[in-house]
Structure 1
Amino acid sequence: MKPILSHLISLLTPLALIGLALRILLTPLFYTVEYNLPHFPADEYGFTKEDRFKWAEPSVKYLVNNADISYLGDLQFEDGSPLYNERELSHMEDVKDVVQGSLRVWHITLVILIFIALVSAQKGWLPEYLDGLRRGGWWMIGLAVTLGLIAGAGILFNPDIFWAFFSWFHSIFFEGDSWLFHYSDTLIRLFPIRFWQDAALWAAVISLGGGAGLAFGLKRLGRTSL
């Protein structure tokens, strides 16, 4: 196996692990745990925990299904007012594009890694393939620790630390201030900044676990096979 192919595997490994973390965070498990945490802030505009569960479910489901924006646009409060305003709906369309694009990249990454693994098994390249995975695991550890430190520092010391990262991230994927909302808007009431701090922290933990498993597990596997 040429060194460039081994390094391609290393590059794809963090993408695969980050994609896995993203997919886990897009399940009901994450927001169910998050809303039940004692530190999660109450909604000063009146949402109960049950309200958040009720409205978070279709909001998250929309991001991974094939429905158009009417899936959210048709949702209404008991008084007949819409759950989301036009600005929020426009942003959710943008978020869906980013999420589904990211998941497509994840799927393609997995297919490439599996294909290279099969070819490597046929051509006797498995040691180099595993070395690429192990190296990618170390790269993932570095990225995950960095993300975890940013999220942790934002929670424990200074919220501006995480906000700077959060703003930079949004500037990459979204136009202008289209992702900024009033505290009274439904999106902020359902998903306040603490939700995203914890999401980043859990993404770091999941990715770190996968990276450590590859970096240390494959190293031990290599020693055992000698």
Structure 2
Amino acid sequence: MRPATRMPKLASEPHAAAKSGSAVPAEPSMDSAGAAAAAGRTAPAAAGSPAPAANTGPVANSAPAPDAERDVFVEESPTTMLQVRPPQEEVDRRLAAREQAANTKPVLPRVFQVLMAVFYPVVLLVLAIRLVTTNAFLWIEYHRPGFPADSFGFSTDDRLTYGSYTVDYLLNFAGRRYLGGLVNTEGKPLFLDREVAHMADVKSLIDLAFLLGLVLAIVMVIGIIYLSRRSTGGVRRGLFAGSIATLVLIIGLGVLAVMGWETFFTDFHKIFFANGTWTFYTDDTLIRLFPSQFWSDAGIFIGAFVLVVSSLTLAFTWPTKDRRQAVARAKRPGRRAAAQ
């Protein structure tokens, strides 16, 4: 077995340098440099010893200054109105104004509700009159059982033909010649001059009523659109009040008509027509086409129509518990804004 041989020991760099006779400068470590610097800062200078010369040249291996000794630029915080709190009195005043604005109801929705309540009876009454002034209602009247026949020779077909001319005259833009130029089978004028004059007065009254009803209906439609967007439950309240007013009005007129139809019919004509312009003989064409039974049936239809429609409106707009709760939920703060 061959014995192990010892490897020759290599000399370190300083030792090798010492052997070669060349001096190698020693590099100062960071620990020694820091210690020297600390010693230089803390050690007091000996009395009479010369002050060390200031080193003006750059120091390659000098340690960086600590963060606490660095110059830090701090920007001053600007003073704005958002950072200045107003006095407590101003805060209370703004809060009270905000609460008052939130609790104050706008005026325009109330105005539209009142207008709807006032206009509803008029519009409904005009609509009922418009349904009466149709050839369909005329046909139903002339063909219904029990309607009195003409004692002067008009057949049902004659009545329907001549009566249709009269109704059409009320709805078109023709002048008096539309009725004044009609003749009967004998070639004589169908209507007398005073009959044509009365129908012209009726035409003017009908036109005014229809125009008024149309304008009020347009205002109601505008109010319904506005209230549906701006006032929760405003449309329902307006129609509810209008239906109550309509029922009171139509019931009152119905009682007067039942107590004395002839008196009611006469007083109505005295209000809208001049005396002596609306009375005719029994053999005049207007009386033969539109006897007293026709007008009583027309009055019953108008009253029944208005009564039924207003009652349905009252039922569908009645402020039930569920409807009141729905309105209360819709009026909660933030609900309308979230919905939009």
TM (norm. structure 2) is 0.61
CA distance in 2, matches of 1:88, 1:162: 23
Deviates more, 1:197-206 or 1:134-143: 134-143
Q: CA RMSD in A?
A: 1.8
Match of 1:104 among 198, 205, 211: 211
RCO greater where, 1 or 2, for CA within 8 Å and sep 6 or more? Answer: 1
- Cα deviation code 1:24-78 (max 9, x no counterpart): 1111111111111222111111111111101011100100111111111111101
Local SS of the residue matching 1:219? coil
Deviation at 1:91, TM superposition (A): 0.2
Q: Which residue in 1 is equivalent to 2:280?
A: 181
Deviation at 1:9, TM superposition (A): 1.2
CA distance in 1, matches of 2:287, 2:320: 46
Q: Which residue in 1 is equivalent to 2:268?
A: 169
Larger radius of gyration: 2
Q: Which residue in 2 is equivalent to 1:10?
A: 117
CA distance in 2, matches of 1:191, 1:41: 10
- Matches for 1:57-206 after TM superposition, within 5 Å: 57-123=164-230, 125-151=231-257, 153=258, 161-206=260-305
Match of 2:127 among 7, 20, 24: 20
- Cα deviation code 1:60-118 (max 9, x no counterpart): 01001111111111111011101100000000000000001000011001100011112
Deviates more, 1:62-71 or 1:28-37: 28-37
CA distance in 1, matches of 2:227, 2:111: 14
Question: Does the 8 Å CA contact 1:83/1:186 hold for their aligned counterparts?
Answer: yes
Local SS of the residue matching 1:178? coil
Aligned length: 218
Question: Does the 8 Å CA contact 2:113/2:223 hold for their aligned counterparts?
Answer: no
Deviation at 1:222, TM superposition (A): 7.8
Higher helix residue share? 1
TM (norm. structure 1) is 0.90
Question: Does the 8 Å CA contact 1:144/1:205 hold for their aligned counterparts?
Answer: no
Local SS of the residue matching 2:274? coil
Unpaired runs of 5+ in structure 1? 155-160
Local SS of the residue matching 2:317? helix
**Letter of the 2:168 counterpart:** K
CA distance in 1, matches of 2:321, 2:199: 46
Unpaired runs of 5+ in structure 2? 1-105, 327-340
Deviation at 1:150, TM superposition (A): 4.4
